[in-house]
Amino acid sequence: MTSVISRRLFGACAAAAVLAAGAAAAQDTIKIGVITDKTGTAKFYAEPVTEGSMLAAKIINAAGGVLGKKIELLIEDDQNKPDVSATVARKLVDAGVVFILSNTSTTATQQQQTVSLETKTPQLTPSNSGETLTTQIDNPYFFQTGPLFSYQINTLLAYTRAKQFKRVALMTDNSELGQLVARSFKAGLEKAGVQVIVEEVVQRGATSAVPQMQKVRAANPEAIFQAGVLGPEMVLFFRAYHQLGMKTPILGSYNLSIPLYLTMAKDLMDGIVIVDAYDREKPEVKAFEEQFQKEYGRPAFNLNAYGYDGVRLIADAIKRAGSLDKEKIRAAMQATKDFPATIGAKGMKYTFPPGKRTGFDPEGVVVRLIENNAHGRVVHAGQK
Amino acid sequence: MTRAAPWLAAAAAMIAVAFLLKDFGYYSDQYRKLMLWVALALGFNFLFGIAGQVAFSHFAFYGIGAYAVVILTFKAGLPLGVAVVLGLALCAVLAIAVGIAATRLEGFYLALATMAFAQLFLVVLTEGGAVTGGAGGIANYRLPALELGGRRFTLTGPYYTSLIALVLLATFFVFWRLDRSYFGRACRAIRDNPEAAAAMGVDVARTKIVVFTVTSVLAGAAGMAYAFVDNIVNPPVFGLENVFLLLFMVIIGGSGRHAGAVVGAILLYMLPYVLTPLIGHHQALVFGIVMVAAMLFRPDGLVGVYDRLRARYGRGAA
Amino acid sequence: MSDILELLVSAASSGCIYGLVALSYLVMIRPTGIINFAVGEWAAVGLFAAFFLLTNRWLPLPYALALIAAVAFTGLIGWGTQRIAVRPLVEKGAPILGPILALLGMLAIFRESISLIFGPDPHNLPAPFGLRQVSLGPFAGTPRDFFIIGCTAAVFVGVWLFFERTVWGKAFEAVALNRKAAALMGINLRRVTVAAFVGGAAIAGFAGVLYSLTAPRDFLMGLPLAVQGFSALVVGGVGRVEGAILGGMILALAEQLTARYADQIGIPSGMSLGVPFLLMIVFLLARPTGLLRPKEAAA
């Protein structure tokens, strides 16, 4: 017993010594911590976001860096485990980062906030759209620029205003993210006076969505709002929809805008309306896609752009802060106004309104159709 | 007095570490979470390694403890002490219910039933609406101030780490005493041969229920300590994946031995952090290989390796 | 009315997949007593092997050939698994928990290897049938459903005949009844174990191929499938081949009927996900030996 204790004590002291040595080294780069998921269930959307972040850092450094220093991204894997996520956030803080960029899942980002609040380290999620990330706890160090679920549902409702839906179905899966989207969508629909007459869940690992779709068919809604996230389970949904010969219009969250769905649910998604925050016609996007192609040798898609914007926003805040003082950087981030976005509708700019820490322009969500197994044109933008 | 000395020394050492690490958020956090894993591994070892029950509900009870203390304190507005007692009572009641049912089941049937129970718990958490906070969980709470002799104080930083150390030591103490008592021998007898144990006068059903209840309640207690580590509780932490990790910890360390649980938990908790810079992000692959190797070459785990080395190189001869 | 017939086809095709996984467990449990949770990972191996054989750019195989080759490959993997994680332990006389735990380690190895080779994205196995609903008498379903049901029926008939009509099958049963006596009678235990694992893996691999016809799957697919298959096995009982398919059908029916009708008896649709788990617990307690008892016990 005592030998175990002393061994552990020794290990801890050794670790502390190493850490102190690290902190003593002169800071000649600007360290930004990136938390991503390299091994868990969020990997397929966290990693593309991180690729975009790395590209942005490279471009900024090639142009001379910020405040005369190069940006150094310290990338940590949280395995999409929220408790591990908070731990690696502390690791980054101890390593001297001036900002934490959270590219992982919403639940993990929420748990990291304990650390950013406690250590007064500014934190930004460029991609999470969780409705309550900035409201669940009052954390002045946390910022969010992902398109909130309420913006998404309101934009969809604006797009369909002429149709005046009164009774709709809501579909999701039992992943944490799917549940969060569904809850926000339901709140948004009810607020707009639309009744959710049937609410269905396709379970992770399911082999059929026929029972759920039969229920939807029996309830005969005017539209189906799609809040699901998990690829296989959503494909089950689309297949059952086609199998049962349904014609009810489907309106999807921005999760369906991940291009992977186009290959996973090939031939099943034509005519579906999705929200997205990406417009290929924008000059900013064209420039970004060119750079991305050059760097990675393959075309970019929307997720890459979220991470790209994240690092650009942080670099801009540091530049305006004029120092590496975390408090000044936080204040500068809060003061971000009209920063041109790669993400979002034409002309969209990031702004944190006073007292708010959500920087995505509520009018910046776009609606597009899926045509011929590809993301079609943008047919609507904004909540009006 | 002399019997208490090692325990007091251990407590002093662990608390000393808590204060040594107080300026290092990362290592302090690692230390806290590691101690909770060790506490869980000790319980799982008693349940699986000593009593021979393959139950996958350990993390569910960890979660029940965590959620219970948060909901009772911050949603129901009860004083923390009352919430802790009620939460532990809830764990006990649920554990007795599952335990009574489980005495009818053997081996992997028990595993399946407890797995179903764990999944059911996750469904309840996700569908719990405002009570459990759904998929996002509950945040925005802090450990309430304690009142002692008219003075109010809040346990933060190294003081809270010390509390976790005491929870761990108390857990260890309970299992250590149980293991050395008639009860521990009865558990091992049931694991090795239930019929023979019954013939020798061991009340098999009652022993099984008590083991399941004690280990589950102590998992709940660890969960309560966890609830204030990051001041947030959410469903994914209490999922099934972690139970497998717990099983790997106990087996690789040395099933049926307290030291094995401690060593296994420390090793497998640290491994991903150590391995990532070396081999990238495939620690699970390494876990699998180590697990298979352990079963093939050293079913008594690392502690068995240590015993053998000691027997060969002297100290055992003295 | 047509709804329920549609639902029956959908549940039957899901039940077939669960049943095949249960059968894979059963083929190994009967002679060896080993519960192998890596069956889900074997299913993933079968799926990804089929995916590779069908879509690789060097030598894409025709559909039927690719499926057969993938199943055979999974059988080979089953042999390797057995050789590494089972035989050394059995020959050492380790308790039965030994190989079960070693196979859990193999589970992690398989899963991570697939993730290393194929990445985290779900893979879509090409299928030669469309998705339009077709009717077979009063039953309506997709061609995939009927393909899954037909293939599973063939596998079950084959395995049933094997156990009932061949010397090898009798040897399996003899070992299941009494290992020592069977060995004394000259049955080669090692060969029976090898055959059980190769057969179990091939069945699991085939289940994986059929599973991926329902939707694209990723490297994490194994565990949910392994749990569903084991649940089906528990419901049906480990004693008889018919038990596996019966258990699979009951489990799938329970899942899909609750998803469809639970709200009509007052259970909110989110909570209905918990109903199968609850059923499982009740079932385990009421009937821990499963619905079908082994023949000799029934006699």
pLDDT in tens, A283-329: 999 999 999 999 999 999 999 999 999 999 999 999 999 999 999 99
- Structural domain that includes position B271: 240-318
Amino acid code (one letter) for A83: D
**How many other β-carbons are positioned within 10 Å of the β-carbon of residue A162?**
6
B 136-155: CB under 8 A from A: 136-137, 139-140
Query: Could you tell me if B125 and B234 lie in one domain?
Result: yes
pLDDT above 50 (res A26)? no
Query: Could you tell me if B103 and B221 lie in one domain?
Result: yes
- Confirm if C133 and C140 have CB atoms less than 8 A apart: yes
Which residues does chain B have within 8 Å of residue C113's beta carbon, measured at their own beta carbons? 285
Ramachandran angles phi, psi of A28, nearest 5°: -105, 0
SS3 A148: coil
Tokens describing residue A136: 């669940």
Number of domains in chain A: 2
Q: Give the contacts of A12 (CB within 8 A, at least 6 positions apart).
A: B17, B20, B21, B27, B31
Does C187 reside within a domain?
A: yes
We report the CATH number of the domain holding residue A217 as: 3.40.50.2300
Query: Could you tell me if A122 and A66 lie in one domain?
Result: yes
Which residues does chain A have within 8 Å of residue B230's beta carbon, measured at their own beta carbons? 82-83, 86, 111, 114-115
318 residues of chain B, pLDDT tens digit each: 567 888 999 999 999 999 998 777 899 999 999 999 999 999 999 999 999 888 899 999 999 999 999 999 999 999 999 999 999 999 999 999 988 887 777 777 788 888 889 988 998 998 888 899 888 899 989 898 877 777 788 888 899 999 999 999 999 999 999 999 999 999 999 998 888 999 988 999 999 999 999 999 999 999 999 999 999 999 989 988 888 889 999 999 999 999 999 999 999 998 888 877 776 667 788 889 999 998 898 888 888 888 888 888 865 444
Separation CA A346–CA A280 (nearest Å):
9
Query: Could you tell me if A175 and A103 lie in one domain?
Result: no
**B279 contacts chain C (CB < 8 A):** no
**B287 contacts chain C (CB < 8 A):** yes
Give the distance from residue A284's alpha carbon to the nearest chain C alpha carbon, in angstroms. Answer: 28
Tokens describing residue A306: 């979220």
**Nearest residue in A to B262, CA atom:** A4
Separation CA A287–CA A303 (nearest Å):
16
Ramachandran angles phi, psi of A336, nearest 5°: -55, 130
A 241-280: CB under 8 A from C: 242-245, 260, 263-264, 266, 268
SS3 A33: strand
Does A25 reside within a domain?
A: no
Give C210's strand partners.
none
First to last CA, chain C: 40
Ramachandran angles phi, psi of B281, nearest 5°: -110, 50
Query: Could you tell me if A169 and A233 lie in one domain?
Result: yes
- Structural domain that includes position A225: 150-276+366-381
Query: Could you tell me if B260 and B224 lie in one domain?
Result: no
Query: Could you tell me if B23 and B153 lie in one domain?
Result: yes
Longest alpha-carbon distance in chain A: 74
Tokens describing residue A131: 């409705």
Q: What is the helix (H) or strand (E) element at residue B274, kind and residue range? A: helix B258-279
Q: Comparing C-alpha atoms, which of A138, A77, A86 is closest to residue A107?
A: A86
Number of domains in chain C: 1
**B25 contacts chain C (CB < 8 A):** no
Does A9 reside within a domain?
A: no
- Whether the pTM exceeds 0.95: the reply is no
**C1 contacts chain A (CB < 8 A):** no
Which residues does chain A have within 8 Å of residue B140's beta carbon, measured at their own beta carbons? 136-138
Q: Give the contacts of A255 (CB within 8 A, at least 6 positions apart).
A: A177, A181, A227, A228, A229
Q: Comparing C-alpha atoms, which of B223, B80, B85, B74 is closest to residue B138?
A: B74
Does C229 reside within a domain?
A: no
**Which of B136, B237, B272 is the closest to A132 by Cβ?**
B136
Query: Could you tell me if A192 and A312 lie in one domain?
Result: no
Query: Could A179 and B126 be called an inter-chain contact, meaning their C-beta atoms sit closer than 8 Å?
Result: yes
SS3 C95: coil
Query: Could you tell me if A243 and A373 lie in one domain?
Result: yes
Query: Could you tell me if B244 and B230 lie in one domain?
Result: no
**Which of B112, B126, B291 is the closest to C234 by Cβ?**
B112
Query: Could you tell me if A371 and A252 lie in one domain?
Result: yes
**B275 contacts chain C (CB < 8 A):** no
Give A123's strand partners.
A100, A142
**B104 contacts chain C (CB < 8 A):** yes
Of B193, B222, B238, the last residue of a domain is B238
pLDDT in tens, A134-160: 998 899 999 999 999 999 999 999 998
Q: Comparing C-alpha atoms, which of B178, B207, B173, B223 is closest to residue B37?
A: B223
**Nearest residue in A to C7, CA atom:** A211
Query: Could you tell me if B41 and B184 lie in one domain?
Result: yes
Query: Could you tell me if B228 and B276 lie in one domain?
Result: no
pLDDT confidence of residue B274:
81
Query: Could you tell me if B287 and B202 lie in one domain?
Result: no
Query: Could you tell me if B228 and B303 lie in one domain?
Result: no
pLDDT confidence of residue C293:
66
**C280 contacts chain A (CB < 8 A):** no
Which residues does chain B have within 8 Å of residue C99's beta carbon, measured at their own beta carbons? 295
Does A22 reside within a domain?
A: no
Neighbours of chain C (3+ CB pairs under 8 A): A, B
Q: Comparing C-alpha atoms, which of B208, B263, B201 is closest to residue B54?
A: B208
Does C236 reside within a domain?
A: no
- Structural domain that includes position C137: 2-221
Give the distance from residue C139's alpha carbon to the nearest chain B alpha carbon, in angstroms. Answer: 32
**Neighbouring C-alpha atoms within 13 Å toward the C-beta of A44:** 19
Q: Give the contacts of B261 (CB within 8 A, at least 6 positions apart).
A: B38, B41, B42, B44, B45, B49, B249, B250, B253, B254
Query: What's the DSSP call for residue A127?
Result: S
Query: Could you tell me if A217 and A290 lie in one domain?
Result: no
**C161 contacts chain B (CB < 8 A):** no
CA geometry: angle C15, C16, C17, nearest 5 deg: 90
Does A194 reside within a domain?
A: yes
